[in-house]
């Protein structure tokens, strides 16, 4: 494969709705030590699925032994032009909306506490479209099928959040951005309002050369904005993270930061990120916010 083949491959993803994509090697990024340290630093219990087989999670070839390259894509779900619509897009019945839009887990006791306090629960921007897992997987399955028609012998696997793949480090290795202090992938043009998904590829494509990114520098706005105090030193404490508790049917409560009113997800760290102020990624139709539900 040559650079022209890489360009043709990426063109398929961009035509399917990705706002940015890049190819990286299937070699494992040097993140295993950092991942282990992050797990060890958690103050509360670590979810079993997250702690299971960290070596496999850090090496995509353990998930797909045939992988030679990886195509990583960013799919925007929000941008600066949508900001004025945020309040209007909030559903009157958050629980019903979340169920109808494909969310399998919610935290009804938390939603009830917010309503009892006279607070209308807020739904995070990423949850205003239909559930993204299935939508992006369908798109990427189509990209893989089309790519197999262009490149004889090509096989691969699709990943989008639910596979044991370190997507954000892969995206950073591919040159699509960097992991910010809020642990999310930041892109200078798209900010952090994007989902990460991609394909393993059984053929070897030339890897893209990552550009230089500014990084977060001395900015700490996300850490200061977190209503639960869950961010510090570029790490997230799951035991405090409000978004973790309100999307995972966590028992108990009240939770740190609950008074902020978020009933599903939490956008406070992203709202304060300077790179999100002018985020300009085009949101594909399959990730557009639902403006009504019948």
Phi (first) and psi of residue 21, to 5 degrees:
-155, 160
Q: Is 161 a catalytic residue?
A: yes
pLDDT tens-place string over residues 74-133: 999 999 999 999 999 999 999 999 999 999 899 999 999 999 999 999 999 999 999 999
Q: What pLDDT was estimated at residue 294?
A: 41
SS3 of residue 243 by DSSP: helix
Please indicate, yes or no, if residue 92 is contained in any of the structural domains. yes
Q: What pLDDT was estimated at residue 50?
A: 62
Radius of gyration of the chain (CA): 19
Please indicate, yes or no, if residue 112 is contained in any of the structural domains. yes
Annotated catalytic residue within 161, 208, 237, 267 = 161
Asked whether the beta carbons of 205 and 156 are under 8 A apart, the reply is: no
Please indicate, yes or no, if residue 293 is contained in any of the structural domains. no
Bridge partners of 235, per DSSP, are 232
DSSP per-residue letters across 76-96: ES--GGGGGGHHHHS-SSHHH
Please indicate, yes or no, if residue 83 is contained in any of the structural domains. yes
Positions in the chain short of pLDDT 70: 32-33, 35-40, 43-55, 292-294
Give the separation between CA 115 and CA 97, rounded to whole angstroms. Answer: 15
Q: What pLDDT was estimated at residue 257?
A: 95
Split into its structural domains, the chain has a count of 1
Q: Domain containing 137: what range?
A: 3-287
Q: What pLDDT was estimated at residue 3?
A: 81
Strand 69-76, strand 178-179: pairing: unpaired
Q: What pLDDT was estimated at residue 281?
A: 93
Whole-structure pTM value: 0.92
SS3 of residue 215 by DSSP: coil
């Amino acid at each position: 494969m040559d650079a022209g083949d890489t360009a043709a491959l990426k063109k398929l993803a961009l035509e399917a709705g990705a706002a940015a994509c890049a190819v990286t090697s299937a070699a494992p990024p040097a993140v295993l030590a950092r991942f282990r340290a992050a797990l060890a630093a958690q103050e509360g219990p670590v979810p079993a699925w997250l702690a299971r087989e960290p070596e496999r999670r850090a090496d995509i070839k353990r998930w797909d032994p045939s992988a030679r390259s990886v195509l990583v894509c960013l799919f925007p779900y929000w941008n600066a032009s949508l900001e004025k619509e945020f309040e209007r897009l909030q559903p009157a019945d958050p629980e019903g909306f979340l169920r109808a839009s494909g969310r399998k887990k919610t935290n009804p006791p938390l939603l009830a506490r917010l309503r009892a306090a006279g607070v209308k629960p807020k739904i995070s921007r990423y949850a205003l479209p239909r559930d993204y897992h299935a939508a992006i997987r369908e798109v990427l399955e189509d990209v893989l099928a089309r790519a197999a028609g262009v490149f004889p012998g090509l096989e691969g696997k699709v990943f989008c959040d639910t596979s044991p793949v370190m997507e954000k480090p892969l995206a950073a290795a591919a040159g699509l951005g960097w992991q910010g202090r809020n642990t999310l992938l930041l892109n200078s043009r798209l900010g952090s309002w994007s989902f990460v998904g991609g394909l393993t590829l059984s053929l070897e494509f030339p890897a893209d050369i990552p550009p230089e990114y500014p990084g977060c520098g001395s900015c700490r706005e996300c850490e200061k904005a977190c209503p639960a105090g869950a961010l510090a030193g570029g790490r997230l404490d799951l035991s405090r993270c409000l978004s973790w508790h309100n999307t995972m049917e966590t028992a108990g409560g009240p939770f740190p930061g609950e008074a902020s009113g978020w009933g599903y997800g939490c956008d406070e760290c992203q709202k304060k990120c300077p790179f999100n102020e002018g985020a300009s990624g085009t949101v594909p139709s399959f990730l557009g916010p639902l403006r009504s539900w019948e």
